[in-house]
Amino acid sequence: MEKLNGSIDPRKVVLCDFDGTLTDFIIINHLYETFAECGLEYAERWERGEISTMEEMEKTFATVTASREEMESEVAKVDLVPGVPEFISMCQERGYSFAVVSDGLHWYIDYILRQHGIAGIKIFASHIHFEPGGFRFSYPWYDPQIPLRSTSKPTIIRQHQEKGSKVAFIGDGTSDFEVVGVADLIYARKKLAEYCQSKGVPAIEFTDFYDLLTKWQGF
């Protein structure tokens, strides 16, 4: 797993999931349903904890014949959850370090953000490499201590904390469960909110990012 480069200013860090958090649905699953011959077969096995993210992505994309351009034409239609640009602006105005941390792919995250005029955001995610013979993947943020995830969110949080930062985490789903007990603050929607409630873990529940702006408590 890569280490955070350089010295981290010990300010407030906001780490945010992408699929289902900044968007209303799981983008990679939409790509699977649209372009993969196997559909959600491996995604459903991942959701049940039977396989890792790496196995899910590699086996599913092995059944994809669409080009990068065809897939990008599909994800270009994706909207962000209402209030996302305003929330990111708030973070920048207050001097927070905002980054996306995802168990998905850097490629479509960056593409979708740029479609909405959002550039220069740090993205912690795995990489897909488009090659003549198909697809190849690399996992710079994998940690064997979290073997089912391609990107270890708790490890990234700890790396920031070790450099003096407090970390607020924003998320929604299964791949976010491991941040519970690690992040200094949790803002949750959907499955993550339900999970925190079931575990008796303090979390601030929100619907969209306009709602989050009204509920934001800082650090």
Instruction: List pLDDT tens digits, range 125-167.
Output: 999 999 998 999 999 999 999 999 999 999 999 999 999 999 9
Distance CA 194, CA 173 (A): 9
Query: Structure tokens of 174?
Result: 């299964």
Instruction: Decide if 198 is inside a domain.
Output: yes
Any domain includes 103: yes
Q: What is the largest CA-CA distance in the chain?
A: 49
Helix (H, G, I), strand (E, B) or coil at 85: helix
For residue 40, tell me if it sits in a domain. Answer: no
Residue 4: the pLDDT is: 67
Contacts of 56 (CB under 8 A, 6+ apart): 42, 43, 45, 46
- Average pLDDT along the chain: 94
Domain that holds residue 171: 12-25+79-215
Residue 43 lies in a domain: no
DSSP state of 78: P
CATH number at residue 102: 3.40.50.1000
- SS3 for 189? coil
- Report the share of the chain in percent with pLDDT over 90: 91
User: Is a pLDDT exceeding 70 seen at residue 8?
Assistant: no
* Domain membership flag for residue 71: no
pTM above 0.95, yes or no: no
Residue 142 in domain: yes
The pLDDT of 117-123, averaged and rounded, is 95
Say how many domains are in the chain.
Answer: 1
Q: How confident is the model at residue 7 (pLDDT cuts 50, 70, 90)?
A: very low
Average pLDDT over residues 189-216: 96
Of all residues in the chain, what percent carry a pLDDT higher than 70? 96
Question: Nearest to residue 190, comparing CAs of 51, 26, 29, 6?
Answer: 26
CA 107 – CA 118 distance, rounded (Å):
14
The end-to-end CA distance of the chain, in Å, is 28
Distances (CA, A) of 204 to 128, 186, 195, 215: 33, 6, 12, 8
Q: 116, 36 in Cβ contact below 8 A?
A: no
Confidence check: pLDDT of 34 > 70: yes
The answer to whether 117 touches 35, Cβ cutoff 8 Å, is no
For range 34-60, the mean pLDDT: 98
In a domain, 45, yes or no: no
Residue 38 forms part of a structural domain = no
